[in-house]
Each structure stands twice: as structure tokens, then as C-alpha cells.
Amino acid sequence: MTVPTLTDRAALERNRARARARGLADFLHVLARDEIKERLDEVNRRFTSPALISGFPEVWGDMLPFTRIVPDAERLDLGETAHDLVIHAMALHWADDPIGQLVQCRRALKPDGLLLVVGFGGRTLAELRACLAQAEAEITGGLSPRVAPMAELRDLGSLLQRAGLALPVADTLPKTVSYKGFLPLLHDLRAMGEGNALADRLRHPTRPSVMARAAELYAEHHGDGDRLTATFELVFLTGWAPAPDQPKPLRPGSATTRLADALGVTERKAGDD
């Protein structure tokens, strides 16, 4: 099956290089990295052959000792069953084939190896996307791709099962960031290396009238005095490479203990007062 080209990889690398040169805004990466560290502490296992996939190794590279750093290319440079831990860090939204990325990670894991993924979820930049779309539709009568598509939590969680991973877990961490205005928000996105790198993006500058209208709409709907708010959603995915001795989920209806007994409360039928 041919996968449609979502990302202009050359443009993405240019955006990242410019962000590095001008001072990378890495606060979301740092937040994600700290969360990943906490989750690894909770696993309470010593990993001896970790691999980390990232477009910003300078932020993530020193998180674990003896980690193999892998660029977030479409074909990941991972050996089969070579790692007991794979971390896919803040890059899945730029993948043309997200399920293919997870399958490659699963194949790189040893039996009972752990995959941890952190990336942007569907609520990320919802305000900006809505305002840009309305402004462009009003002024030009059409829409153009501007923000990389980001999947919802439920959809991302189902990808783990499709990739053949066991014991899948998906959860989310929303983060609201305050900006002094519309332009500082756009500047911050460029400083994150998250400028528009979509293959089908406009190849000429956006009309100033579109950006001005988007700024008006943003201030009207998402402003608080002289500040604007932007939502970023970090999604965390956890899955294990299948192994014979792993715990297995119970078959539905096979429970032998009532929930009411476990909670120490009196069970009531539906509709009881």
C-alpha cells in the first residue's frame, strides 16, 4: 500500500535547524521528558539497551545512559529485537505513516520490551487552527493545510493494538500556555521547529489580511485582557512487546469478585433511589 506524503522532510529539517540557530523553545520537550522519566521510575526495571527516536537529540539524548539515538525518519534505523526499551519522542505527528512507526518500534523490541511514545494530541493548537481556518475562509473562500494533523487520544491508543503491542495504555496531559499576543505565539512555534512543513502547504506567503483577521478572531475568542491562551496536549502511549509470561487481561464476564464488595459499599440496582 502506498502511503500518502504528509510531510516535506526537507522543510521540516530546515525549520528545526532555524529553531536551533535562533534558540530552541524546548519547554514542551522538557515537560514531556520529565513525564517520561517519572513513568520509567514507576516501571522499576533496569533497561540495558534503550533506543530513543527524536528530531531533537540535544534535548533528549542524555535522558538515559547508553541510549542509541535514532532520527525520526520514515524508515527508522532500528535493528530487529535489538532493544529492551524504545522511546518515540515528540515526532509522531510528522510521520506519513504513524502505524508504520509503531510497528517498526515493536519489531525493534525484545520480548517483554517497553515502548513509550509521547507526542501531540488532537487538542493541540485547536484555537489557532480554528481561527486560521475561519480567517482564510472569510477572505480567500478556501482553506490550505497549515498545521500537521494530530490524532485524538482514542485513535492513538488503538494504534498500539494494531501495531501488535500488548497491555496498551494511552493517557493525556493538557498544557495551557499564555502569550502576549498572536505574533509571539507564531514566533514560539517557529522557535519550537514546528512551523508549517506539510507537503501540500501554500508555497507563497499568506496574505497579511488573513493573518490580521486570524489575530482578531483569536483575541476575540481566546483572549484575556492583553494575553492569549494556546492549548498543547501531550499524549503518552505505553505498550509492551508480547512475551509468554506477561499478565493477560481477563476475559470479559470472568470476574469472581463484585465491585461493590471490593469498594465496601452496598450494591444497588439501576433506578434505585
What is the predicted pLDDT for the residue at 145? Answer: 84
Cell numbers that stand for 93 in this block: 505527528
* pLDDT of the residue at 149: 78
Q: In the prediction, which pLDDT does 187 show?
A: 96
**Per-residue model confidence (pLDDT) at position 220:** 95
pLDDT at 44: 84
Structure confidence at residue 204 (pLDDT):
86
Burial (0-12, 13-18, 19+ Cβ within 10 Å), 155: middle
pTM (predicted TM-score): 0.87
Output the DSSP codes for the chain.
-PPP--B-HHHHHHHHHHHHHH----HHHHHHHHHHHHHHHHHT---SSEEEEES-HHHHTTSSTTPEEE---SS----TT-EEEEEEES-GGG-S-HHHHHHHHHHHEEEEEEEEEEEE-TTTTHHHHHHHHHHHHHHHSS----S-----HHHHHHHHHHTT-EEEEEEEEEEEEEESSHHHHHHHHHHTT-S--BTTS-SSPPPHHHHHHHHHHHHHHHEETTEEEEEEEEEEEEEE---TTS--PPPTT---S-HHHHHT-----TT--
Backbone phi and psi for residue 3, each to the nearest 5 degrees, phi listed first: -90, 130
The pLDDT value recorded for residue 97 is: 93
pLDDT given at position 203: 84
For residue 205, what pLDDT is reported?
Answer: 86
The string of DSSP letters for 101-157 reads HHHHHHHHEEEEEEEEEEEE-TTTTHHHHHHHHHHHHHHHSS----S-----HHHHH
At residue 152, the pLDDT reads 85
Kindly give the confidence (pLDDT) of every residue in the chain, 273 residues in length, as a single tens digit, with 9 standing for 90 and above. 677 889 999 999 999 999 999 999 999 999 999 999 999 999 989 999 999 999 999 999 889 989 999 999 999 999 999 999 999 999 999 999 999 999 999 999 999 999 999 999 999 999 999 999 999 999 999 888 888 878 888 888 889 999 999 999 999 999 999 999 999 999 999 999 999 999 998 888 889 999 999 999 999 999 988 899 999 999 999 999 998 887 766 555 555 566 556 556 565 665 555
Neighbour count for residue 176 (Cβ, 10 Å): 9
